[in-house]
Amino acid sequence: MISLGISKTGLVRQRNEDRFYAQGPLLIVADGMGGYTGGEYASTMVVDAIVNVVEKSKEVSAHVLRNAILEANHMVYRKSQSYKELEGMGTTAVVAYVQNNILYWAHVGDSRLYIYGEKGLQRMTKDHSMVQQLVEAGTITEEEVLHHPNRNMLTRAIGVYESVEVDTGMIELFQNDRILLCSDGLSGYIEESKIEQVLSEEQNENRALEDLVHLVYDAGARDNVTIVLGRI
């Protein structure tokens, strides 16, 4: 399996609070937040904790990924309660693991998982955000999300509270299906149709990553952007 990723600070932010992991069948993106260094600390802790749980597991499932995020949540929350400078820190996380052509996933927050294959680009995760709730209520459209002033407000994040609800799922993959995980630095500023166009036109994973990052920078790169690509 091919798996690689890229993370950029962008043109506005001073620090990059995103973290990613892309090795073999395990793919992770985490987008941290809170305090001067809290976001970086939270996203790093979560990625390390998930990798540790998965590596210790004899067999990986959506249940294992959920438990990994719950363990990470406990660690981040406990640390934030122990150090005043880390108070309020948290992070999103989206995790994918491929095993025998089955993709297992788990996520919290607004970092996303997409599958690109014969059916085009399919979003597998649902954002835990204020604007997603407005979309579901019919108050705004999907097109209005990208420009909504509250698009960065989360309704769920790792490490903010003692417990967190984790969404999970699984899907069968087919030969040459591509897996894309990203922070909202991509999906919060670039239309899905443009993401799909890049994946359609560029078959090389490295160049596809570069093309997606170029889209973000052309749009102003107002946030950190992290993208992970995998192909079976």
CATH of the domain at 92: 3.60.40.10
CB count within 10 Å of CB 204 equals 9
Residue 161, domain extent: 2-231
Q: Which of 122, 119, 140 is nearest to 130 (CA)?
A: 140
Number of domains within the chain: 1
Query: Strands 178-182 and 225-231, how do they pair?
Result: antiparallel
Exposed/middle/buried for 220, CB within 10 Å: 0-12, 13-18, 19+? exposed
Cα 8–chain centre separation: 14
Query: Would you say the C-alpha torsion 26, 32, 38, 40 has a positive or negative sign?
Result: positive
| pLDDT tens across the length of the chain (232 residues) | 999 999 999 999 999 999 999 999 999 999 999 866 799 999 999 999 999 999 999 999 999 999 999 999 999 999 999 998 898 899 999 999 999 999 999 999 999 999 999 999 999 999 999 989 998 899 988 888 888 887 778 999 999 999 999 999 999 999 999 999 999 999 999 999 999 999 999 999 999 999 999 999 999 999 999 999 999 8
The pTM of the whole model exceeds 0.75? yes
Question: Which parts of 57-118 fold into alpha helices (H)?
Answer: 62-82
